[in-house]
Chains A and B, each alone.
Chain A
Amino acid sequence: MSAPDMADAWRPSEEELARRQQRRARNRKNAAIASISSILVLGTLIVILVTSPGWISLRDTFFKWAYGVEILPKVLLGFGTNVTLTLIAGTSVAILGLGLALIRTSRSPALTPFRFLATVYVDVFRGIPMLLVILLVGFGIPALQIPGVTNSVLILGTIAVIITYTAYVTEVIRSGILTVHPSQRAAARSLGLSHFQTLRHVVLPQALKRVTPPLLNDLVALIKDTGLISILGVTDAVRAAQIQTAKSFNYTPYVVAALIFLAVTIPLTRYTDRALRRSMEAQNAQGSA
């Protein structure tokens, strides 16, 4: 907190000025060392790669940039499907996961059967590879030929992704709810807040804040995993790249697809790291208070 009325004539002492000077010098030196070592290591790696005997054929098979630019629009169009799917699935998973986490942590006797079902659901779908769930839902349900039920692989694939991710997210949110100390509930209840008000104003805000970093992690994983529904024949970025590769026997489209995924996931991962660090700092501050 600044105090504007502090008109005392404080000036840094000789020692402080010297210290600042030294700190600046040290920072400059550290930055120089970091740059030089990075250039050396990366440069060496590039030289080794480029001078290796297979480099030319590797470059022509995976990194044919002119071809990459040519097929970019098609792969980007496919990536639109991944983005849409992520948005729809992400929203559904957030809502369903929150609901199931609330059911799993409730103690109301009326919810006992739901609590049991939620536990079974989570255990089952956390234990099955998502690819299997996608195959079961995407190919299995149309095979039943139930009238009125969709055969769209896009919709069925999305549902499969939602089913699997809801199981993960339920557990993340539930663990967040459990880490809110019981004394917080006691304080809220002693103020006359009902069970629901306590949940809404006291428990959930603290729980969700704590699980934001792991949930962001799951979001990154979700974006990547939407690529798995290409197995059903949905034309997403992965499938679009596959089609191009099959035509040309050149693998550059796959690399292009990978780069598109990275363009989205890397910033998100960086952001998640920052959120995690901030949340840990906040908790440390609380612990020391």
Chain B
Amino acid sequence: MSALLSVKNVRKTFGDEIVLADISFEVKDHSATVFIGASGSGKSTLLRCINLLEQIDDGVMSLDGQEITAVDVDPDQVRRRLGMVFQSFNLFPHMSVIKNITLAPIQVHGIPKEVAYEKALALLDRFGLREKADQYPDRLSGGQQQRVAIIRSLACGPRLLLLDEITSALDPVLVNEVLVTVRDLKNDGMTMVIATHEMGFAKQVADQLCYLHQGRILERGTAAEVIDDPKEPETKEFLARVHSAGRL
């Protein structure tokens, strides 16, 4: 089976800072690829590059066999096939939950309003948020907001979901409800690329785990290989620090 997403030799710099030096990996359909790494190691930047929110400085990326880094590719077309969830939720504060979810299906995909609403309500129902449909985001808990953001990114039926540290802004108690949601999606066969600091969660969902260090993938393998039996000294040191911070 060929890869859904393929990233080859991607490089990204901000001024003099080389954030991504040479990144290559592939994501198979229905698999979850997890990135771990210190703060500032470039996890968010990588996801933003895949979503074409940042322009890369070198390398090639393809989605579903189509090269998305080609100059004549319309970024909007690519983004329609991707879903992205951010650390800070980024719900639209001036819209109710249901409007947040149906904005893109109606405006971008031209789905009739009733159909979009029905589908959104079904998704809300599934994740236990049906009664929040008409609330505004500022009336929801952080965990609820993040779950709405996940539903919003699902509403257009993306081929691939990009999750950027979606639990780092949450209380420990709320983290779990969001992680359960992601695990459900994984069981449904959703393809995902995830950046996270939650090692326990990484172990549960990752088919492929990559440790990002100074712009390179220093170590990769199954979650058990990388987390329980790291080979590189940098990986060991990072995991030791995570461990002492109580995240493992």
Contact = CB atoms under 8 A, between A and B. Distances in A.
Contacts of B76: 189, 192-194
B90 A201 contact: no
Contacts of A209: 94
Contacts of A285: 138
Interface string B90-112: 11111000000001100111000
Contacts of A187: 84, 86, 90-92
B88 to A, nearest CB: 6
B115 interface: no
A205 B94 contact: yes
Interface residues of A, number: 20
A191 B152 contact: yes
A188 to B, nearest CB: 8
B84 to A, nearest CB: 4
A131 interface: no
A289 B103 contact: no
A289 B51 CA distance: 28
Interface in A38-56: none
A264 interface: no
Interface in A166-215: 183-184, 186-194, 197, 201-202, 205-206, 209
Nearest to A191: B104
A190 B53 contact: yes
Contact of B153 (A183, A191, A205): A191
B118 to A, nearest CB: 19
A286 interface: yes
Q: Which of B79, B90, B137, B153 has the most CB of A within 10 A?
A: B90
B156 interface: yes
Contacts of B109: 192
Interface string B5-49: 000000000000000000000000000000000000000000010
Contact of B103 (A184, A189, A191, A206): A191
B5 to A, nearest CB: 15
Nearest to A287: B138
Interface in A205-259: 205-206, 209
Contacts of A184: 90, 92
B80 interface: yes
A29 B242 CA distance: 60
30 contacts: A184-B92, A186-B48, A187-B84, A187-B86, A187-B92, A189-B75, A189-B79, A190-B51, A190-B79, A190-B82, A190-B83, A190-B153, A191-B103, A191-B108, A191-B153, A191-B156, A192-B76, A192-B104, A192-B108, A192-B156, A193-B103, A193-B107, A197-B107, A197-B108, A201-B92, A201-B103, A201-B107, A205-B94, A286-B93, A289-B140
Give 7 nearest A-B pairs by CB, closest first. A187-B90, A192-B80, A191-B104, A190-B84, A289-B138, A192-B108, A192-B79
Interface of A: 183-184, 186-194, 197, 201-202, 205-206, 209, 285-286, 289
